[in-house]
Structure 1
């Protein structure tokens, strides 16, 4: 399985079901966030923003991943068009910093 915070949110199923999956069945987990000012039903790939910058329960998601035994990569997957105008190194560094902050906030 390849899981993605955006698709769990956008699909409307929520995040509680994540706790029912065996962590070793997940090959990769894409992490991103979504803005509060766009309704869920209208959000598209271009609304994927840095983790921790939006309304997703990132701490809960990361804690659940740990509980189910997921021990592989967290992959940053963001498509906000404004990021495309920045140097890729800056986007990667900002994304890593924000993801590390989310991990620290989840007390992992």
Structure 2
């Protein structure tokens, strides 16, 4: 599953709980900005977790409750990041922002 593509496809986050989360090995937690609209987004618009409007506080607990215990990954095709950070710095920032978003979402839901 890919958070960016769920949004990009115009899908509802309410459908997450129909998944068998235990069967998902990994989820791409690519965030996205509020603009452009979902149907105009491109892969280059993906941003780091927490820098966009993806409702992780809603999605992550639903995935946890659906049995997901797999891994999370970040895919960035945003040239702005590549131009402003080397690979090590971007990897570190991706990890830190992911941990912050996931920890916050699970804490708010009482799972962590």
Normalised by the length of structure 2, the TM-score is: 0.89
Which of 15, 24, 30 is equivalent to 1:17? 15
Residue 105 of structure 1 and its aligned partner are, at CA, apart by 1.5
2-structure distance, mates of 1:90, 1:97: 11
Residue 104 of structure 1 and its aligned partner are, at CA, apart by 2.1
Residue 37 of structure 1 and its aligned partner are, at CA, apart by 2.5
Runs of 4+ in structure 1 over 2 Å off: none
Aligned pairs, how many? 106
Across the aligned residues of Structure 1 and Structure 2, the Cα RMSD in angstroms comes to 1.1
Q: Which runs of 5+ in 1 are unaligned?
A: none
Which of the pair is proportionally richer in helix? 2
2-structure distance, mates of 1:51, 1:71: 18
Q: Which runs of 5+ in 2 are unaligned?
A: none
Which of 77, 80, 88 is equivalent to 1:79? 77
Normalised by the length of structure 1, the TM-score is: 0.92
2-structure distance, mates of 1:37, 1:94: 23
